[in-house]
Structure formats: C-alpha cells, structure tokens
Amino acid sequence: MHKKIRLNHYLSNAGIASRRKADELIQSGVIEVNGKFVFKLGTVICTNDIVKFHGSRIKSKNKVYILLNKPKGFITTTRDQFNRKTVMNLIPFFFEYRIFPVGRLDYSTTGVLLLTNDGYLAEKMTHPKYHVKKIYHVSLNKKIKNEDLDKIRKGKIYLKEGKVKVIFINKKNNAKNQIEIGLYIGWNKVIKRIFKKLDYQVIRLDRINFGGLSKKNLKIGDWCFLNKEKIENITKT
C-alpha cells in the first residue's frame, strides 16, 4: 500500500521548495499530478502518483546537507540571469541532488551557509517564528562609539520593518572597529542597514554561526557534509 502525503510536503521532500513556497507553486499552476494541474492547497496524493513541476517529473531524493564557508564574490542562489558566479559553482555535483542555499548571504558577505534539498529544514532555518540565531563578525570603517553600541543593545534602532532587537552586541577582543553581534531577525542586509543608520560603513561581514552551525576548521571556499547528529541538533532547537 502506497503512503498518502500532502502535495506541498511531497514537493518539499523532493527539494523543490519549502512547504510554504510549495503552496505558492501549487496556486500558480505549475504542478501536475497524474496529468492534471493542481491548484488546491491541502491536496493529498499517493507517493506513487506522477508529479510534475514545469512539465518535468520529480521524485523524492535522499536528504543532503552541506555546510559551506562562503567566500566573497559569489551570489547566494542556484542560478543567476547575468551569469555571475553562484555558490553552486563551489559544489560540483549539486544538479544530481537538487540542493539549494538556505537563506541568503549577499555578494560581499562571507561565512556559514547551509545547502540542502530538505525543504522542511530550510523553512525551519529561515522562518521568523523559529527564532534561529545568527552570529556575525562585523568590521567597520571607523571606531564605534560606546553610546552607539548601547543604542543597538537597547533596541533604539528602527528600520522600515520595525524595531531592531539583537540578542547581544559587543566589541570583539576590545578592538575599536570589530563587532560581534547575534540576532534572530533575517531582514535583507539588516547588519549593514543597522550601522548605516548610525553613520558607519560595514567593510567586512562574516557570518560565524547559523542555527548552531559553525565554520570552525573549514577554510574559506571549502565545504563538508553534515552528519546526522548535527542535523538532529538543529531540528531540536
């Protein structure tokens, strides 16, 4: 007897998208089940049904989890319309496993990046309701004032999305322009915007921890597979 499963969960397991994004795909009319386009959210299918995405059949794959220490000069996406280098160029076999980067680090930002074909974990790592911690090492163009650190620490910085709440912010090793900051929010370019608000320029941004994942002992541009224990620790948080 074949197992029944929600269509969005099936798409997530196949590495197409998170369940939330899969719902958007279903509603947009690009998913077929047994030769018929499906638009209804909550649709339940059998695991032996023929499911197609943009006309190509998809199947569930074994889950793959890769930790990359992202270098500068790479776009965090699976492909780029301007043919710029993407992080996928650093993982030679990704087409076979349909992995994708979880969240985004911009072109000049370095550090911890997770790539996977597990849509459920991707959603857990990026959706605001799960409060996944991110820690960054920030280098500024000048010495930061203690009063500006206090403004950030006390939540006195407002961006268009609302008040900025940080977990912690401290000078790193008492350096004048080196900051370590931890936060849950994942707003676009939030670190750079925080400091720009206070008239500083971020000259280097490095994510050193993402949901408990660290790039310790991983050279810039290198990657490694994550073991089952690492993944289980993430899903428990």
pLDDT of residue 96: 61
pLDDT at 83 over 90: no
State what percent of residues in the chain have pLDDT above 70.
95
> What are 2-38's pLDDT values in tens digits?
678 889 888 877 767 777 888 999 999 999 999 999 9
> What are 150-208's pLDDT values in tens digits?
999 999 999 999 999 999 999 988 788 999 999 999 999 999 999 999 999 999 999 99
- In order, the DSSP letters of 24-48 are HHHHHT-EEETTEE---TT-EEETT
Q: pTM to 2 decimals? A: 0.76
CB 112 within 8 A of CB 209: yes
Going by pLDDT thresholds of 50, 70 and 90, the confidence category of residue 94 is low
The residues spanned by each domain of the chain are 4-57, 65-128+213-236, 133-210
Which among 105, 118, 94, 142 is positioned nearest to 16, based on CA atoms? 118
State what percent of residues in the chain have pLDDT above 90.
59
* Domain covering 4-57: architecture: Roll (3.10)
65-128+213-236 CATH: 3.30.70.580
pLDDT of residue 191: 97
pLDDT of residue 119: 81
Superfamily of domain 133-210 in CATH is: Alpha-L RNA-binding motif (3.30.70.1560)
Q: Within a 10 A sphere around the Cβ of 140, how many other Cβ atoms?
A: 19
Q: Whose structure tokens read 């949901």?
A: 211
Going by pLDDT thresholds of 50, 70 and 90, the confidence category of residue 62 is confident
Round the average pLDDT of the chain to a whole number and report it: 89
Q: Does the annotation count 106 as an active-site position? A: yes
Q: Within a 10 A sphere around the Cβ of 221, how many other Cβ atoms?
A: 15
Query: Span 55-70, mean pLDDT?
Result: 84
pLDDT of residue 196: 97
> What are 134-162's pLDDT values in tens digits?
999 999 999 999 999 999 999 999 999 99
pLDDT at 82 over 80: yes
Fold agreement between 4-57 and 65-128+213-236: no
pLDDT at 237 over 60: no
Which residue in 80, 106, 199, 222 is the catalytic one?
106
